[in-house]
């Protein structure tokens, strides 16, 4: 609900209020974001200490919380935008001009954002307030959009900057949202990482005067830093304490700038990374910045994660797939790499079918001259040497087994050794007079060019029409270098969204999975097009504890693609039990990536039982709430739980990483269950809810390294 009362704008979500007000000098000031307030005129005045040494119009905003601050006039803290105006300077101050509300959610031209309708068909009361601010002297207007849903504790913010002058202005930075927090001891929790080690949470205290730029400038949203940040009060943990988060619905270079002013107040701003960014706006032209979702919880980080998980499932991911049970797949990548034949693939699929799997995915190596990673990218024609019956014939053979068929593509890339590159060398991103930097022997196609987008869309459409293809893994395997001009990365990102939009709309029944050298583009922007993303190329169960734990802080487990692979693990050489590999992968979109034809009987029988278990629990993983109970970053243990929202069904996974003696194992207390109920596990053993919640269970770990225990409980009626 949104109410406007005497220039005070009040947005109410399920348990939250967001309040802004127009100050006496016409500035849009921030009043409150937190627990819900009554819908009335507020009695506590906007108070702040004004001490500043300068006052451009007889007052300063230096100590005042604002909605969309500028730098360099009434405030010298970092500003939310920079415009080089017609006078050749960057001074600006936006003042309130007008406000309007609309039913429904804000839309952003050419970019993904929250969907107004829930995929469940329920009306969640989306409403948006648009506040227009203007600075005539700088020649710009900013329209700030704030969407609230009755059902959620989030505000989705975005901004459009318009040139209202008669000369070009240059937009040099544009954050999508600014969040002002009171002086308090606060920690920042963020998700840095690397290839094969994505989203490993770090926590640090922000002290007076500090600036942290939690950002990525490597082309996509990145292995190295995810566009998700929490600011929590000192002492907040998984289930307790006040926490605010910001998530950017964007897949390009991003930044969340955290700055703690000299008065200890905290300003967080999230948006496109200003490094290498620029947009020249001609008179009348506008620039739309991506959406930033801010969330509030009084129940620690877990509260944030569960809120965002429900939101993304219902209002972000493609509605036709978001809440639909996903097929259990087998992918041939780690089984064969590039070295396969049609018969070998069918042999894997046959055995996988026998184990109960439902989808066979053919990974890299099926097109052009692609026998290793140095050639063929861009040539989207099937190689008959490997697949004599083509995609049509192969998909028919797989379908005949009773399995769906899917395939891998990497549409944004080209190998210099490819027909495409030989025909169109100018289609690869480059700067004139410089040889472009190769990574994995490949270059990036310049999808800011309409003809390149058209080539990609048409050639992939042709491929996807050649057989009965029901799943696509969309990969992207290198960072972006050689950007030809400032602002290029944003234009590339818009091109990517255009292609993703065209292909997902043309094939609404194909389940798309995102991938970028593992989890290099795991962000809310991509989740708008793909309901699931390959979380990491590292599929070792112990590494995955950390990767999946970290990823679940900002994303639903229904989006985390997780596979059981062979040992020794191909990325780190670790040998973990087959049971542990599956137990960890169950909390995600479950699948396999190994040569199942090489399993011994015992292993094969175990896989059959795992597949059967995954089928029984996948609805719970899709719809349930996720609780992180023990952190692998803080101890030798990891435990997590998925509980259905009505508390009727529970999945618990506990892992003791290294075997040791002498120290008692840690009990695990369940959350989100009915303490008055009795639960039964799959063997029929009974447990009282109050004991599970308050005393906790002691997992019976095998005496070995990497031992995992799972429990599946249902409430007795």
**Where in the sequence numbering do the catalytic residues fall?**
475, 537
Provide the total of helices (H) and of strands (E) in the chain, helices listed first.
13, 36
Residue 496 · residue 283 · CB < 8 Å: no
Give the integer Cα–Cα distance in Å for 191 and 215.
Answer: 10
Least separation in angstroms between CB 382 and ligand DGJ: 17
Tell me the sheet residues that pair with 562. Answer: 590
Which of 271, 514, 517, 632 contacts ligand DGJ by CB under 6 A?
Answer: 517
Q: Is residue 647 near ligand DGJ by the rule CB under 6 A? A: no
Q: Where are the alpha helices (DSSP H) in 76-217?
A: none
Q: Is residue 67 near ligand DGJ by the rule CB under 6 A? A: no
Give the integer Cα–Cα distance in Å for 681 and 127.
Answer: 43
- Looking at the Cβ atoms of 223 and 351, the one nearer to ligand DGJ is 223
- Looking at the Cβ atoms of 523 and 537, the one nearer to ligand DGJ is 537
Least separation in angstroms between CB 515 and ligand DGJ: 5
Least separation in angstroms between CB 374 and ligand DGJ: 11
Q: Is residue 367 near ligand DGJ by the rule CB under 6 A? A: no
- Looking at the Cβ atoms of 223 and 313, the one nearer to ligand DGJ is 223
Give the integer Cα–Cα distance in Å for 143 and 134.
Answer: 9
Q: Is residue 488 near ligand DGJ by the rule CB under 6 A? A: no
Q: Which residues contact 121 (CB under 8 A, 6 or more apart)?
A: none
| 611 three-state secondary structure | helix
Binding-site size for ligand DGJ (CB under 6 A) equals: 11
Q: Is residue 222 near ligand DGJ by the rule CB under 6 A? A: no
Q: Is residue 242 near ligand DGJ by the rule CB under 6 A? A: no
Which of 217, 537, 583, 641 contacts ligand DGJ by CB under 6 A?
Answer: 537
- Looking at the Cβ atoms of 274 and 517, the one nearer to ligand DGJ is 517
- Stretch in the footprint of ligand DGJ (CB under 6 A) among 113-121, 460-468, 515-523, 602-610: 515-523
Encoded one letter per residue, x for contact with ligand DGJ by CB under 6 A and - for no contact, window 331-360 reads --x---------------------------
Which of 360, 534, 627, 637 contacts ligand DGJ by CB under 6 A?
Answer: 534
- Looking at the Cβ atoms of 296 and 512, the one nearer to ligand DGJ is 512
Least separation in angstroms between CB 197 and ligand DGJ: 14
Encoded one letter per residue, x for contact with ligand DGJ by CB under 6 A and - for no contact, window 297-336 reads ------------------------------------x---
- Looking at the Cβ atoms of 69 and 365, the one nearer to ligand DGJ is 365
Which residue carries 């549409």 as its tokens?
A: 411
Kindly write down the DSSP assignment for every residue of 355-408, as one continuous string: TT--EEEE-S-SBTT-SSTTS-TT--SB-TTT-TTHHHHHHHHHHHTT-EEEEE
For β-strands 154-163 and 286-288, DSSP reports them as antiparallel
Which of 173, 477, 493, 561 contacts ligand DGJ by CB under 6 A?
Answer: 477
* E strand or H helix at 503: helix 488-506
Least separation in angstroms between CB 377 and ligand DGJ: 9
- Looking at the Cβ atoms of 314 and 537, the one nearer to ligand DGJ is 537
Q: Is residue 294 near ligand DGJ by the rule CB under 6 A? A: no
Which of 363, 412, 466, 470 contacts ligand DGJ by CB under 6 A?
Answer: 363
Which residue carries 């063997």 as its tokens?
A: 683
Which residue carries 């304490």 as its tokens?
A: 241
Which of 475, 625, 641, 649 contacts ligand DGJ by CB under 6 A?
Answer: 475
Q: Kindly provide the residue ranges of all beta strands, DSSP E only, lying in 182-290, ordered along the sequence.
A: 186-192, 202-206, 211-216, 225-233, 243-249, 254-260, 266-272, 279-281, 286-288
- Looking at the Cβ atoms of 60 and 539, the one nearer to ligand DGJ is 539
- Stretch in the footprint of ligand DGJ (CB under 6 A) among 15-23, 90-98, 179-187, 511-519: 511-519
- Stretch in the footprint of ligand DGJ (CB under 6 A) among 190-198, 211-219, 282-290, 510-518: 510-518
- Looking at the Cβ atoms of 182 and 339, the one nearer to ligand DGJ is 339
Q: Is residue 471 near ligand DGJ by the rule CB under 6 A? A: no
Q: Indicate the residue whose CB is closest to ligand DGJ.
A: 364
Kindly write down the DSSP assignment for every residue of 293-344, as one continuous string: EEEEESBHHHHHHHHHHHHHHHHTS-HHHHTSPPPPEEE-HHHHTT---HHH
Structure-block tokens of residue 242: 């006040």
- Looking at the Cβ atoms of 195 and 228, the one nearer to ligand DGJ is 195
Q: Is residue 539 near ligand DGJ by the rule CB under 6 A? A: no
Least separation in angstroms between CB 520 and ligand DGJ: 8
Give the integer Cα–Cα distance in Å for 527 and 513.
Answer: 9
Where in 189-208 is the site for ligand DGJ (CB under 6 A)? none
* E strand or H helix at 650: strand 649-656
Residue 452 · residue 499 · CB < 8 Å: no
Which of 314, 364, 523, 540 contacts ligand DGJ by CB under 6 A?
Answer: 364
Structure-block tokens of residue 267: 């300003």
Least separation in angstroms between CB 539 and ligand DGJ: 9
Q: Is residue 518 near ligand DGJ by the rule CB under 6 A? A: yes
Sign of the Cα torsion 535, 536, 537, 542 reads negative
Please calculate the CA angle 645-509-350 and round it to the nearest 5 degrees.
90
Give the integer Cα–Cα distance in Å for 298 and 673.
Answer: 19
Give the integer Cα–Cα distance in Å for 205 and 608.
Answer: 47
Give the integer Cα–Cα distance in Å for 130 and 538.
Answer: 43
Residues of the binding site for substrate: 195, 363-364, 440, 473-477, 515, 537
Where in 376-415 is the site for ligand DGJ (CB under 6 A)? 408
- Stretch in the footprint of ligand DGJ (CB under 6 A) among 105-113, 458-466, 512-520, 573-581: 512-520
Q: Is residue 571 near ligand DGJ by the rule CB under 6 A? A: no
Q: Is residue 515 near ligand DGJ by the rule CB under 6 A? A: yes
Q: Which residues contact 270 (CB under 8 A, 6 or more apart)?
A: 175, 176, 177, 179, 227, 229, 246, 248, 254, 255, 256, 257, 292
Q: Which residues contact 205 (CB under 8 A, 6 or more apart)?
A: 185, 186, 187, 188, 234
Residue numbers of the site for ligand DGJ (CB under 6 A)?
333, 363-364, 408, 475, 477, 515, 517-518, 534, 537
């Amino acid at each position: 609900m949104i109410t406007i009362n005497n220039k005070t704008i009040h947005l109410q979500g399920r348990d939250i209020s967001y309040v802004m007000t127009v100050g006496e000098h016409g500035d849009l000031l921030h009043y409150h974001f937190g627990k819900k307030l009554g819908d009335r005129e507020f009695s506590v005045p906007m108070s702040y200490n004004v001490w500043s040494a300068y006052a451009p119009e007889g007052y300063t905003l230096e100590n005042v919380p604002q909605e969309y601050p500028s730098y360099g006039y009434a405030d010298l803290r970092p500003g939310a935008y920079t415009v080089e105006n017609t006078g050749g300077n960057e001074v600006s101050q936006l003042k309130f001009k007008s406000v309007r509300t609309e039913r429904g959610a804000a839309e952003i031209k050419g970019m993904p954002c929250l969907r107004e309708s829930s995929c469940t068909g329920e009306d969640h009361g989306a409403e948006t307030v648009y506040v227009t601010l203007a600075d005539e002297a700088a020649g710009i207007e900013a329209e700030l959009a704030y969407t609230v849903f009755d059902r959620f504790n989030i505000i989705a913010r975005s901004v459009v900057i318009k040139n209202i002058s008669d000369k070009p202005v240059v937009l040099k930075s544009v954050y999508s949202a600014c969040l002002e927090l009171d002086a308090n001891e606060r920690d920042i929790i963020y998700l840095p990482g690397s290839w094969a080690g994505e989203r490993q949470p770090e926590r640090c205290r922000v002290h007076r005067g500090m600036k942290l730029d939690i950002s990525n400038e490597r082309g996509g949203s990145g292995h190295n830093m995810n566009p998700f940040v929490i600011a929590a009060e000192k002492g907040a943990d998984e289930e307790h304490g006040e926490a605010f988060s910001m998530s950017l619905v964007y897949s390009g270079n991003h930044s969340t700038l955290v700055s703690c002013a000299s008065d200890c107040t905290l300003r967080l701003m999230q948006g496109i990374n200003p490094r290498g960014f620029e947009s020249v706006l001609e008179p009348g032209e506008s620039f739309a910045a991506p959406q930033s979702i801010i969330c509030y919880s009084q129940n620690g980080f877990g509260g944030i994660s569960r809120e965002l998980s429900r939101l993304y499932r219902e209002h972000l991911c493609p509605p036709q797939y978001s809440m639909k049970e996903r097929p259990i797949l087998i992918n041939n990548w780690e089984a064969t790499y590039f070295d396969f034949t049609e018969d070998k693939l069918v042999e894997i699929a046959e055995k996988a079918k026998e184990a109960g799997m439902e989808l066979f995915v053919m990974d890299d190596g099926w097109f052009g001259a692609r026998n290793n990673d140095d050639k063929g990218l861009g040539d989207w024609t099937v190689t008959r040497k490997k697949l004599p019956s083509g995609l049509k014939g192969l998909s028919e053979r797989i379908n005949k087994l009773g399995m769906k068929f899917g395939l891998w593509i990497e549409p944004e890339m080209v190998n210099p050794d490819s027909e495409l590159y030989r025909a169109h060398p100018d289609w690869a991103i480059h700067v004139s007079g410089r040889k472009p930097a190769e990574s994995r022997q490949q270059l990036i196609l310049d999808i800011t060019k309409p003809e390149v987008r058209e080539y990609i869309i048409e050639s992939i459409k042709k491929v996807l029409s050649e057989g009965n293809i029901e799943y696509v893994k969309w990969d992207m395997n290198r960072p972006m270098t050689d950007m030809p001009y400032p602002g290029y990365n944003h234009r590339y990102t818009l091109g990517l969204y255009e292609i993703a939009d065209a292909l997902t709309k043309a094939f609404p029944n194909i389940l798309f999975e995102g991938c970028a050298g593992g989890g290099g583009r795991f962000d809310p922007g991509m989740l708008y097009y793909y309901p699931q993303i390959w979380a990491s190329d590292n599929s070792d169960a112990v590494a995955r504890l950390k990767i999946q734990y970290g990823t679940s802080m900002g994303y639903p487990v229904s989006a985390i693609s997780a596979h059981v692979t062979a040992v020794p693990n191909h990325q780190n050489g670790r040998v973990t039990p087959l049971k542990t590999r599956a137990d960890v992968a169950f909390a995600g979109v479950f699948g396999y990536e190994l040569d199942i034809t090489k399993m011994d009987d015992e292993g094969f029988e175990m896989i059959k039982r795992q597949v059967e278990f995954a089928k029984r629990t996948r609805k719970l993983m899709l719809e349930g709430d996720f609780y992180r109970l023990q952190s692998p970053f803080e101890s030798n243990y990891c435990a997590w739980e998925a509980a259905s929202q009505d508390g009727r069904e529970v999945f618990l996974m506990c892992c003791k990483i290294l075997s040791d003696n002498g120290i008692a194992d840690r009990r695990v207390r369940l959350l989100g269950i009915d303490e008055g109920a009795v639960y039964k596990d799959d063997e029929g053993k009974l447990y009282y809810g109050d004991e599970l919640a308050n005393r906790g269970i002691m997992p019976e770990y095998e005496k070995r390294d990497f031992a995992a225990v799972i429990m599946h409980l249902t409430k007795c009626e």
